[in-house]
Amino acid sequence: MKPIVVLTVLALTPVIFVACGKSKEEQQAEAIQKSAEQLQQGAEAAAKGLSDLAAGLSSAVGGDASIKPVDPVSFRDLIALLPAPAGWEREKPTGERMTSPVSFAEASVRLTKGEATVTAKITDSGFNQLLVAPFAMFLAGNFERETDSGYEKSIKVGDAPGMEKWDGENKSGDVTVIVNKRFIVEIDGSSIDDPKVLRTILDNVDLKKLADLK
């Protein structure tokens, strides 16, 4: 055997020995770990692609795509700002916070009064355009659509832009405002007699204190 061949065989022998020395369970564990890493990378790439698309859409209608995302606040800080209007039964608030692949925190509470039901939710988008983009058309202002049963329109609550929807036939509607280009406040109601009910509940959310959260 030529010297170069001998050296090659000797060099490969430890690798072959190690590979052959692994149990079937170890090989399966490595395969599972590799698959998990590939899935994670794929999810992160998909999230980035969607975020870039959302940023483009938001910018196209006047949003600010230049703002860099930040870590969301604790959902407990959001729970503390959920409305508790007088005369309404208030269920226990819930909340969650996630940091990957899309960072956000949210808190919500369900309110009831007779047949009427209202859900109030506050979301910290962390300036993530993927979460704000669905409201971009309304944030641009001057949007209004009217039908036989109701309407959709852009609104402003103080300095906060937003949207209001009302369906008089089904006695349902929602009011959404974006605070500091970051926090999304949604008041969604059903079996209510007037959209003013939603505005009244929104008034129970301290929007200034919400805007100051870091």
Residues 82/87/91/92 CA torsion (nearest 10 deg):
50
Per-residue model confidence (pLDDT) at position 140: 76
Per-residue model confidence (pLDDT) at position 60: 38
Specify whether the CB–CB gap between 78 and 122 falls below 8 A. yes
Per-residue model confidence (pLDDT) at position 3: 46
How confident is the model over 84-108, as a mean pLDDT?
Answer: 96
Per-residue model confidence (pLDDT) at position 6: 41
Cα–Cα distance measured from residue 109 to residue 90, given in angstroms and rounded to the nearest whole number: 7
Stated pTM of the model: 0.71
pLDDT, tens digit, for every residue of 159-198? Answer: 999 999 999 999 999 999 999 999 999 999 999 999 999 9
Per-residue model confidence (pLDDT) at position 40: 65
How confident is the model over 66-73, as a mean pLDDT?
Answer: 90
Per-residue model confidence (pLDDT) at position 12: 45
Per-residue model confidence (pLDDT) at position 42: 60
pLDDT, tens digit, for every residue of 4-41? Answer: 444 344 444 444 444 456 677 777 777 788 776 676 66
Cα–Cα distance measured from residue 39 to residue 60, given in angstroms and rounded to the nearest whole number: 32
Q: Which two tokens stand for residue 15?
A: 């690798």
How confident is the model over 63-76, as a mean pLDDT?
Answer: 85
Per-residue confidence at 63, pLDDT binned at 50, 70, 90? low
- What phi and psi, each to the nearest 5 degrees, are found at residue 184? -105, 120
Cα–Cα distance measured from residue 214 to residue 71, given in angstroms and rounded to the nearest whole number: 9
Residue 80 has pLDDT above 60, yes or no: yes
pLDDT, tens digit, for every residue of 119-158? Answer: 999 999 999 989 988 888 777 778 899 999 999 999 999 9
